[in-house]
Structure 1
Amino acid sequence: MKISRGATLDELRTTWHDKSDDRVEAHLTDIAVNVLVAGEYTCRERENSRYQWLVEYKADLIERAKREREEAEKAERERHMKEEKARVDRLLSEAKALREAEEIRAYVASVRKLNKNSVDPVPEDELRNWAFWALEQADRIDPVRSRRFLIDR
């Protein structure tokens, strides 16, 4: 008889053989005790292995949660930085648009002034139509007139 697939304890006997002067049946009490001890030892080893697995699994879960939290915080910081950069870029774009609108208005005023003293002036109705169109363009791109600067601060 042999106790197999169980624990391997050095002091635990796991095999018995019939001998001419010693039959296996004579050792049934020892065999039963050793089967129980081997079973208990195997059960404890499995429970200990399961406990170790649970400890490692919990540590992995904690580490994964920490990593996910750090990644979420990093993504939030990056999102915030990207939003702030977009806001600054928009602000710079609006400042440029205002300068361009003012430049157009100054250009229209200069053309009107220079046209008055010109040797061959542009007729007033043509100049007025052109100036109206040019000032409309200035108003269209002007973030102050359109109040675009107030949107999404």
Structure 2
Amino acid sequence: MSTPEWDSEDPNAQLEVGALRPDSDDLLRSTPLRLREWLLAPMVLALAGGAAIAVLIGMALPYGLTFSGWGILSVAGLVIVYAVLFAWSGYRAYARDTPATSASFLSLKVAGFSALVTVAILAGVIGASFLVVMIGLGSAVALFGK
């Protein structure tokens, strides 16, 4: 696939090319500037996922897990994986402070959290766990609600 060629003298072509790229100032505003800005949220997520896993494994040993319990356990595992990826992306954006790393951080933050919330809601619905559905919906409202 070759890249399309635009006529540099055509003002409409310049407008179309500029409309496809995000403004670098907007991206750099989303870059974490302090250590706690990129480390605090992944740490909270990892601790929450780890606590849920510890509780579920503690309950699984004497009683076993139901279908709902396995769903919650898998979502908690995904939360920890997401927290690690989120921390790595935040560190890259913090250390390099370029539009590319900021765009990567912002896309992982929004798209990854959206995917995690969707998986949590689906796991809660399939596993008939009201708590997981409410956590997923509450997280979606907290992130996207205004």
Compute the TM-score of the two structures, normalised by the length of structure 2. 0.34
> Which of the two has higher C-alpha Rg?
1
The alignment's TM-score, normalised by the length of structure 1, stands at 0.33
Higher RCO by CA contacts (8 Å cutoff, separation 6 or greater): 2
Please identify which structure carries the higher helix content.
2
